[in-house]
Amino acid sequence: MPRLITAFSNPLVKRVRSLREKKGRRTERLFLAEGLRILAEAEEAGRLPVYIFFAADSAGHPIVRRLVARVEAAGGEAIETDRDILHKLSGKDNPQAVVGVYEEFATDLAAIDRTSAGLWIVAQSLRDPGNLGTILRTGDATGAGGLILVDDCVDPFSVEAVRASMGALFTQRIALARWPDFVDWLRAGPGELVGTSLKATDDYQAPRYTPPLFLLVGNEAQGLPAEYEAECDRLVKMPMLGKADSLNAAVATAVMAYEVINQWRRAT
């Protein structure tokens, strides 16, 4: 039976509100996802929120009803509320009708089974939550196993990253690691590390890529540090026909990832 909350001062509202900041997420080990589409995607991936907030005027929506029932059956809590509270939780002028609060996932590199997928994306010092979410979405579309975040990346559980991932956060494995630990882990098993670099001489369509393939993408402004490039088994570049000399990091990742899976689907 959903609880009704309409007071801004409610302690749960305050607690959930704190999840918009990294500090709150680290304290609570919880994060926010908004909107029916993303909550349904999470459900399909086997993830239910521990709390689900929904607007009273959407209580009759069949997906809302199903989610509420499943959350309650799983021991979570459903909270009926109003648009003002949802606005406060989401920070958006035009809030989604539902907000879910999820437990953070484990992000240990050691828990990743590299044989479970042919392609893995590795991002270094990625700063933009939109790029991070977009890369997760591309990872889902290209059948990647997950995203390994190296060094100081933006928080994958931030509201903006979850939103940009359009639910792919729930279908992709996520690991956080320092570079030396990632390299140790990588070299302890099979796999090729492929980086993109403006300094590379090989065209990105020239190599025959083989799984497991680890696609390394660098920071938006700086690209990859020289020593990270030196660690790569291959450095490749995409053609740049214009006056500018780079692509958006999420775009470069996607162009590379599609080249890899296009090769693999031609081979079968």
CB of 196 to its own copies, least distance (A): 12
Q: Is 183 in the site for its own copies (CB under 8 A)?
A: no
Nearer to its own copies, 85 or 167 (CB): 167
Helices 249-267, 129-141: crossing angle, 10 deg rounding: 10
Q: Is 116 in the site for its own copies (CB under 8 A)?
A: no
Nearer to its own copies, 47 or 114 (CB): 47
DSSP state of 116: G
Q: Is 197 in the site for its own copies (CB under 8 A)?
A: no
Buried/exposed 172-197: b ≥16 CB within 10 Å, e otherwise:
bbbbbbebeebeebbeeeebbbbbbb
Residues in the chain: 268
Nearer to its own copies, 110 or 244 (CB): 244
Q: Is 207 in the site for its own copies (CB under 8 A)?
A: no
Please report, to the nearest 10 degrees, the dihedral formed by the alpha carbons of residues 3, 81, 75, 169 taken in order.
-170
Give the whole-angstrom CA distance, residue 93 versus residue 176: 32
Q: Is 81 in the site for its own copies (CB under 8 A)?
A: no
Q: Are 146 and 261 in contact (CB under 8 A)?
A: no
Task: Candidates 92-100, 177-185, 229-237, 258-266: pick the segment binding its own copies (CB under 8 A).
Answer: 258-266
Q: Is 208 in the site for its own copies (CB under 8 A)?
A: no
CB of 259 to its own copies, least distance (A): 8
Of the candidate residues 2, 143, 211, 225, the single one contacting its own copies (CB under 8 A)? 143
Residues of this chain, 30-59, that bind its own copies according to CB under 8 A: 41, 44-45
Give the whole-angstrom CA distance, residue 134 versus residue 162: 9
Two structure tokens written together for 268: 């079968």
Task: Candidates 65-73, 188-196, 228-236, 237-245: pick the segment binding its own copies (CB under 8 A).
Answer: 237-245
Of the candidate residues 81, 90, 138, 219, the single one contacting its own copies (CB under 8 A)? 138
Please report, to the nearest 10 degrees, the dihedral formed by the alpha carbons of residues 108, 112, 118, 123 taken in order.
0
Q: Which ranges constitute the DSSP H helices of 107-169? A: 129-141, 159-165
Nearer to its own copies, 7 or 240 (CB): 240
Q: Are 34 and 163 in contact (CB under 8 A)?
A: yes
Of the candidate residues 122, 126, 168, 175, the single one contacting its own copies (CB under 8 A)? 168
Q: Is 223 in the site for its own copies (CB under 8 A)?
A: no
Strand order in the sheet with 192-196: 173-177, 146-150, 119-124, 213-217, 192-196, 234-237, 202-203
Nearer to its own copies, 23 or 265 (CB): 265
Q: Is 199 in the site for its own copies (CB under 8 A)?
A: no
Q: Which residue ranges make up the site for its own copies (CB under 8 A)?
A: 41, 44-45, 130, 134, 137-143, 164, 166-168, 171, 205, 238-244, 246-248, 250-251, 254-255, 258, 261-262, 265
